[in-house]
Structure 1
C-alpha cells in the first residue's frame, strides 16, 4: 500500500481492514445467493438422489469459486488504488 516501503498509517490500516471486511461479506453474500439458486431446488423438492447430490455439489463448487474470485477481485482493485467514479467531479488522475 505504501509506495516507499515504510509503515502504513492508522488510516491506511483502517482502510485495509474495512476493505477486507467488505470483500468477505460481499463474497459470502454472492456465494450464498449462487448456492441457493443452484442447490435450492434440490433442497426444496423431492428429486432423485443422484440429481439432488449433483446439484448440491455443483452449488458448493460454484459458490466456492465465486467466493474466492470476489475476494481476490476486491482486494486486487483496492491494492491498485482504484477509486469509484464520482459523477460531477473531475478525476484526480486527469
Structure 2
C-alpha cells in the first residue's frame, strides 16, 4: 500500500467537504419542497405531520444518495484502476474534410 501525498489527502478532504455541503443543500431543498404545501395551505394536523415526516425521511435519503454519489465518482489513489480518458478517433482533425 502506497502512502498518499499531501496533495492527494487535500483533494480528498475537499471532495468530502463538497459531498457533505451539496448533500445538505439537496436535503434541505427536498425537505422544503415536501413541506411547502403544509406551509402555504391550511392542512389538518395529521397531514402536516405526515408531510413533515415524509420530508425528513426523503431529505435523509437524498442526502445519503448525494454523498455516496459524489464520493463514488471521486478520483481514486494512483495505484487503482481508473477509466481511460476518451480519445478522439482522429486526433488533430476537426472535420472529415481536413
Gaps of 5+ in 2: 88-98
Deviation at 1:79, TM superposition (A): 4.5
Aligned partner of 2:27 in structure 1 is 31
The structure where helix makes up a greater share of residues is: 1
Matched residues, number? 83
Determine the C-alpha separation between the residues in 2 that align with 1:72 and 1:57: 23
Which 4+ residue blocks in structure 1 deviate beyond 6 angstroms?
none
| Equivalent in 63, 69, 78 of residue 67 of structure 1 | 63
Gaps of 5+ in 1: 84-90
TM-score by length of structure 2 reads: 0.74
TM-score by length of structure 1 reads: 0.77
